[in-house]
Amino acid sequence: QQILVNDTFYPNKESAFIHVEDRGYQFGDGVYEVIRVYNGRVFKSFEHIQRLYRSANEISLSIPFSQNDMMSRLEELVNRSGLGTGNIYLQISRGAAPRTHAFPSTVESVFVAYCNVKERPEEMLSNGIKTITTEDIRWLRCDIKSLNLLGAVLANQQAHASDCYEAILHRDGIVTECSASNLFIVKEGTIFTHPANFFILNGITRQLILELAVKNGIKIIERPFTLEELFNAEEVFASSTTIEVMPVIQIDNTIIGKGKPGQLTKKLQELFSQAISSSLY
């Protein structure tokens, strides 16, 4: 396994080191991305890198190299790792400095990236996942892909403790997204998903789903929906880089769509798979 720290490649996790006063470690002061690789090709790399630079900009963290340079580093990482299908994890922290909340006057950001082998979750994609609902206790800038993930960690842990894969989050009964994915419901043939504002992360997969739906004449509307609408939906699905278009077949004790992935969900899965295939040429 190759670990990239700034400009240096290390042969394994044991040989790469992060300073104990790294602000990513102490404050969650940094941003990250998870990017999918299919057959050695980085999927939607431009979109992920753009979002990374946007997230960094929103927390006044300047990345000391260009987006093109970032792209080349990631491609080199994938090549050196010999990765076929899997994930790239990358993060940038504000850097290491004596501990104090405000930004240090001199500090150099620390960039880390590595890959993991991970096949597509075929079994879950065919059968769907179980979920729970829980209050969205995260901060008010969920549009930033920040290293502060405690709200998401606690919600996801709650799901796992109930033998579920995801936690669906709501603020006062308005559904926002899930702990690590976006959420969609289908009502009378129309898809609804929360608008991209401060309350959700605007998923790259979410954006691709919107694009695929529009191109294929599937009605999709960005508007907030309630827990009641969620429980009464004909179909529900979640989306992310790692879970793609994932059918939700149970929410708390409610079975959705007779416990099977719905028609529109399956249609979008098919379109998504085609998008992956065409990215490989």
Residues designated as active site: 145
Please identify, among the stretches 13-21, 175-183, 189-197, 220-228, the one whose residues bind ligand PMP according to the rule CB under 6 A: 175-183
Instruction: Find the residue with minimal CB distance to ligand PMP.
Output: 203
Are 107 and 95 spatial neighbours (Cβ–Cβ below 8 Å)? yes
Nearest residue to 108 via CA among 92, 125, 91, 86: 92
> Of 22, 29, 136, 177, which lies in the binding site for ligand PMP, with binding defined by CB under 6 A?
177
Distances (CA, A) of 47 to 67, 136, 153, 213: 11, 26, 25, 18
Cβ closest to ligand PMP, residue 34 vs residue 174: 34
176 lies in the binding site for ligand PMP (CB under 6 A): no
206 lies in the binding site for ligand PMP (CB under 6 A): yes
**Shortest Å, Cβ 270 to ligand PMP:** 18
Please identify, among the stretches 124-132, 158-166, 201-209, 224-232, the one whose residues bind ligand PMP according to the rule CB under 6 A: 201-209
Cβ closest to ligand PMP, residue 96 vs residue 179: 179
> Of 181, 193, 265, 269, which lies in the binding site for ligand PMP, with binding defined by CB under 6 A?
181
244 lies in the binding site for ligand PMP (CB under 6 A): no
Are 158 and 167 spatial neighbours (Cβ–Cβ below 8 Å)? yes
Rounded to an integer, what distance in angstroms lies between the CA atom of residue 170 and that of residue 76?
A: 40
Rounded to an integer, what distance in angstroms lies between the CA atom of residue 207 and that of residue 201?
A: 11
182 lies in the binding site for ligand PMP (CB under 6 A): yes
Cβ closest to ligand PMP, residue 133 vs residue 240: 240
**Shortest Å, Cβ 182 to ligand PMP:** 5
Distances (CA, A) of 81 to 2, 9, 10, 117, 249: 6, 10, 11, 10, 36
Strands (E), 102-148: 110-117, 129-135
204 lies in the binding site for ligand PMP (CB under 6 A): yes
- For residue 259, what is the DSSP state? G
For the segment 144-163, give every residue that binds ligand PMP (CB under 6 A).
152
Are 213 and 186 spatial neighbours (Cβ–Cβ below 8 Å)? no
Are 256 and 235 spatial neighbours (Cβ–Cβ below 8 Å)? yes
> Of 203, 224, 257, 261, which lies in the binding site for ligand PMP, with binding defined by CB under 6 A?
203
For the segment 214-243, give every residue that binds ligand PMP (CB under 6 A).
239-241
> Of 180, 233, 246, 251, which lies in the binding site for ligand PMP, with binding defined by CB under 6 A?
180
Distances (CA, A) of 52 to 1, 11, 67: 23, 25, 9
Angle between helices 67-81 and 45-58 (to 10 degrees): 130
Residues that bind ligand PMP (CB under 6 A): 34, 152, 177, 180-182, 201, 203-206, 239-241
